[in-house]
Structure 1
Amino acid sequence: MEEKSSLLVLVIDANHIWWGERAEEAARQTHGSNGHRNRDIAISDSSSSQITLTEFIDSVITFTNAHLLTNHRNRLAIIASHASKSQYIYPPRQSIDSSTTVLGATADTLQVLKNSVKGELSHLLSEVDDREMLADSITAGAISMALCYIHKQSQQLLVGEKLNSKILVVKGTEDSSEQYMNFMNAVFTAQKNGVVIDACLFNHDSGLLQQACDITKGIYLRIPHMKGLLQYLLWTFLPDPQTREKMSMPPRSQVDYRAACFCHRRLIDRGYVCSVCLSVFCDFQAICSTCRVPFKILGGPVLRKKKKGP
């Protein structure tokens, strides 16, 4: 009999600049709500919508524990995406370097998961250079790492075992158009290999992740309240794609399929496309900056004189 298991690769946004801004915002809102507690309840409600990085990690650990407890054959990997690099924070490094596969949930496994996530994340943040004050995270690189891990795990399956793989991106930072080409290459690779990409967004939408979820048949959700993150993760993203077909899931939103130009890295409605490498430019280029092929400048239509009759 065929035994099914699920592999979840969770990509979390660990950008310390973005999380620092959220902490400052929560502190300001809390200070304001204390001064107007009896006069304005709405301010108090808004202050409770923000969460800290520690609360976020606790919700992520609870969600991943639920995934492992669903099936004793389920597998898990967590990648932290930062402004300068992306790094595995689970499984432990020795498990990734070797051929060891971490399966299911036991008391030891859940404890190792908790220690590995918090320890590796602290190690990652301690290595970050303070001069790298970038507001965006390397999401494209993290998804590429996730696809490599999924491919490695698929090569280690037992006879008669089927692996359903999905990638969940939990992101707070805004999109970077500079990642557009690498990001879309990773998305089409996931589509070809039958890997579903889900996205959970904070505060603002992501055009790139909307495209990724639509192409791979995943779920895109922008949560209205960060305090309810764990509930959204458990009820929306925990079920596998086959189970979702029997559930009432969030409706698909309108997808922005605009491309980012290769010259200024901004989304455009119309542009010039290289016929060789398909690079997109917002302004006319005499020579393609990607493949160095010169563009031919076509003139207007040639008007031929009509022959006069005899």
Structure 2
Amino acid sequence: MNALKDTATVNEDDANLLVLIIDTNPLIWTKSAKSLSLKEALRHLLVFINAHLALKHDNEVAVIASHIGVSKFLYPIPNPSRLSENTDQAVDSNLYQRFKVVNDQVISNMKDLFEDVSTLNSYPDKASSMIAGALSMALCYTNRIMRSDEIGHIKPRILIISISPDSPYQYISIMNCIFSAQKLGIPIDVCKVHSEETVFLKQAAHLTGGRYLKLQIPQGFLQFLMITFLPDRFTRNYQCLPGEEKVDFSASCFCHKKMIDIGYVCSVCLSIFCHPLEQCSTCRSSLMLASVNECGLKLLNGIKKQAKGRESGGST
């Protein structure tokens, strides 16, 4: 049913906007350098970007770096004149000029990002990157492009190359981005390169109709990109992929920023807590602990009665 619905709204002649978010956390990339280094991954990603642009002449791309403490556009940039002073402007007859422009801007801005170490010293959580900020930038950019497209010819999607673990401190921001993408009809694809599974981004792919891939063979990074994430939204209706794994819908509590499976939810603002509170720390609403405890006691007594009834029924 979903495939038929997508076919009705997505046309074969539509242009495709790919917003690529690259997790550039240098600490995590250093750990995975033996299997796949950032330099090798960037080389594969540039080939993937060029392939996306080569599929249709009106395809567009944007690249955002999710770094430690900062998110930054690598392409396009607001001031391309500054870049022209630092890059080679010689025309290569063996290379499509559009490929060269994108490659030069991404490489140059990536180099500037790693040379600036100010955020590394000031940001406390160095184990994660600013995925929430990068997603917000991607959605704002995509929304601007969609508003300028009066006939709805451009069909956007977001691809996240993730390497850092989940940050519970970004849970609220990431969920807001997920719901915004869901409302705009923008699928979020996720390629998990290293480290453990990411719960938040797996939820993002599931809720927005995107694809999630945990890279098992780092040497086949480019092949997985081409097969899984290169097809546009129209082509995906006719593509068969392995079934999705179970999605973990665990949330992060607002009080201690830790992952929980069962928690207490404020009925006013829907904030989540790992233990019952007398007052919501988000909206300051009074929470009826007595009713919570009473309901819990009634539920426990009901379970005990059912258990006794089964025992008595079995003995007779």
Judge same fold: TM > 0.5, yes or no. Answer: yes
| Structure 1 residues 1-310: aligned runs within 5 Å | 3-23=13-33, 26=34, 50-94=35-79, 107-129=96-118, 130-131=120-121, 132=123, 134-157=126-149, 160=151, 162-203=153-194, 204-298=196-290, 300=294
- When residues 181 and 128 of structure 1 are mapped into structure 2, their CA distance, relative to the original with a 3 A threshold, is same
TM-aligned CA deviation for residue 21 of structure 1: 2.0
Tell me the distance in 2 between the aligned counterparts of 1:201 and 1:223.
6
Tell me the distance in 1 between the aligned counterparts of 2:163 and 2:289.
44
The residue identity in structure 1 corresponding to 2:220 is G
Percent identity at matched positions? Answer: 38
What TM-score, normalized to structure 2? Answer: 0.80
- When residues 225 and 2 of structure 1 are mapped into structure 2, their CA distance, relative to the original with a 3 A threshold, is closer
TM-aligned CA deviation for residue 248 of structure 1: 1.7
CA deviation string 1:153-210 (max 9, x = no partner): 11222x5451111000011111111111110110010011010100000232111111
- Extract unaligned runs of 5+ from structure 2: 1-10, 81-94, 296-316
SS in 1 for 2:191: strand
- When residues 222 and 293 of structure 1 are mapped into structure 2, their CA distance, relative to the original with a 3 A threshold, is same
TM-aligned CA deviation for residue 2 of structure 1: 9.6
Hey, which of these two has a bigger chunk of helix by percent? 2
Q: Please say which of residues 217-226 and 123-132 is displaced more in the overlay.
A: 123-132
Contact 1:221–1:250 under 8 Å retained in 2: no
The residue identity in structure 2 corresponding to 1:22 is S
SS in 2 for 1:121: helix
Tell me the distance in 2 between the aligned counterparts of 1:94 and 1:2.
34
Contact 2:265–2:273 under 8 Å retained in 1: yes
CA deviation string 1:210-233 (max 9, x = no partner): 111111111100010112111100
- Extract unaligned runs of 5+ from structure 1: 27-49, 96-105, 302-310
Residue equivalent to 2:7: none
Tell me the distance in 2 between the aligned counterparts of 1:68 and 1:191.
25
The residue identity in structure 1 corresponding to 2:274 is C
Contact 1:3–1:161 under 8 Å retained in 2: no
Tell me the distance in 2 between the aligned counterparts of 1:184 and 1:2.
31
Contact 2:266–2:280 under 8 Å retained in 1: yes
Tell me the distance in 2 between the aligned counterparts of 1:270 and 1:241.
36
Tell me the distance in 1 between the aligned counterparts of 2:242 and 2:285.
45
The residue identity in structure 1 corresponding to 2:244 is R
RMSD: 1.9
The residue identity in structure 2 corresponding to 1:58 is R
CA deviation string 1:11-70 (max 9, x = no partner): 0110111112223xx2xxxxxxxxxxxxxxxxxxxxxxx121111111110000000000
Tell me the distance in 1 between the aligned counterparts of 2:191 and 2:289.
45
Contact 1:2–1:161 under 8 Å retained in 2: no
What TM-score, normalized to structure 1? Answer: 0.81
TM-aligned CA deviation for residue 249 of structure 1: 1.6
SS in 1 for 2:270: coil
Report the count of equivalent residues: 265
The residue identity in structure 1 corresponding to 2:26 is H
SS in 2 for 1:93: coil
Tell me the distance in 2 between the aligned counterparts of 1:2 and 1:270.
44
Tell me the distance in 2 between the aligned counterparts of 1:172 and 1:3.
34
Residue equivalent to 1:308: none
SS in 1 for 2:290: coil
